[in-house]
Amino acid sequence: MSLLLEGKKALITGGSRGLGRAFCEIFAREGADVAFNYNSRDEKAREVVEAIESHGRKGLAYKVSVTDRPAINKMVREIHHEFGRIDILINNAAINRADNFATMTENSWNHVIDTNINSLFNVTKPVFKYMLRQRAGQILNISSIGAIRALPTSVHYATSKAAVIGFTKCLSREAAPFGVTVNAIAAGIFDTELADMLPDRLSGMYRFWAAKGRNGRPEELAEFAAFMVSERNSFMAGEVVTVDGGAVV
């Protein structure tokens, strides 16, 4: 059987750590050339590029914030020039802060909303235009179970991840007639730095109630994501698939 993503060209946001790094490595293993952006960790980014190249694929790293729209536009143009096309977009970049709503500052709210929601527009808009022209493409947005369940997580984070779901469902209707597919994953708690920011009581409760009895591993989500954006998953559109280890919290 051929590789899931043989010959595909992928762009992954927030690719130097956590889930993003797993996406980069698994997608490259499955045959895709991979470009990704990152914020600050040059050494981590180099490691990811080396991991991509170890699978015989091309890796491109861009030190660009998803909140910087002009820089993102430039990055997307350069990736398209290097790859010739962009087949897959993974909107993964996100932040969280351990804030209570009562004491949450306006700056904290704006920072999370800008990073987690406005980035969807900043990144997807230029990529979407290329996908429309080529009449093909896969967009996968990473949401959270915090968007659909009353978990003790931060209000700004849950709000932003709920927006990802609305974005996914509405854009999928507009995109489908042009051969572009848009779906999302509502992710549970995975072993990442983002998860380390969660209150201990939430992490402990999650592991207790999850059927798997543990947090997820980033590569487990990446394996499923690779299938979701592959040609073998040809009839799913506008769906939000929960991957959370069977949590019932």
pLDDT tens digits, one per residue of 127-176? 999 999 999 999 999 999 989 987 778 899 999 999 999 999 999 999 99
Position 242 scores a pLDDT of: 96
208 contact partners, CB below 8 Å, separation of at least 6: none
> Degrees (nearest 5) of the Cα angle 92, 160, 223?
25
CATH classification at residue 230: 3.40.50.720
Q: Are 28 and 51 in contact (CB under 8 A)?
A: yes
- Domain range holding 132? 9-243
Catalytic residue among 38, 62, 130, 157: 157
> Degrees (nearest 5) of the Cα angle 33, 36, 39?
165
- Mean pLDDT, residues 68-89 taken together: 98
The answer to whether residue 209 is domain-embedded is yes
Of the pLDDT bands very low, low, confident and very high (cuts 50, 70, 90), residue 197 is low
172 contact partners, CB below 8 Å, separation of at least 6: 181, 182, 183, 237, 238
The answer to whether residue 249 is domain-embedded is no
The answer to whether residue 4 is domain-embedded is no
Q: Which residue has the higher pLDDT, 205 or 179?
A: 179
Which two tokens mark 8? 């595909």
Rounded CA-CA distance 229/170 in Å is 18
Query: Is 249 a residue whose pLDDT tops 60?
Result: no
Q: How many domains is the chain partitioned into structurally?
A: 1
Asked which of 174-178, 189-193, 202-206 is least confident by mean pLDDT, the reply is 202-206
Beta-carbon count within 10 A of 232 CB? 11
The answer to whether residue 231 is domain-embedded is yes
* 3-state secondary structure (DSSP) of residue 32: coil
Instruction: Count Cα atoms within 13 angstroms, Cβ side, for 129.
Output: 9
The answer to whether residue 224 is domain-embedded is yes
Rounded CA-CA distance 233/121 in Å is 25
H or E segment at 71?
helix 69-83
Alpha-carbon Rg for the chain in angstroms: 17
The answer to whether residue 1 is domain-embedded is no
Position 196 scores a pLDDT of: 67
Query: The tokens 């990152």 sit on which residue?
Result: 38
The answer to whether residue 2 is domain-embedded is no
For 123-165, give the DSSP string. Answer: HHHHHHHHHHHHT-EEEEEEEEGGGTS--SS-HHHHHHHHHHH
Of the pLDDT bands very low, low, confident and very high (cuts 50, 70, 90), residue 1 is low
Q: Is-catalytic flag, 157? A: yes
Q: Mean pLDDT over all residues of the chain?
A: 94
The answer to whether residue 22 is domain-embedded is yes
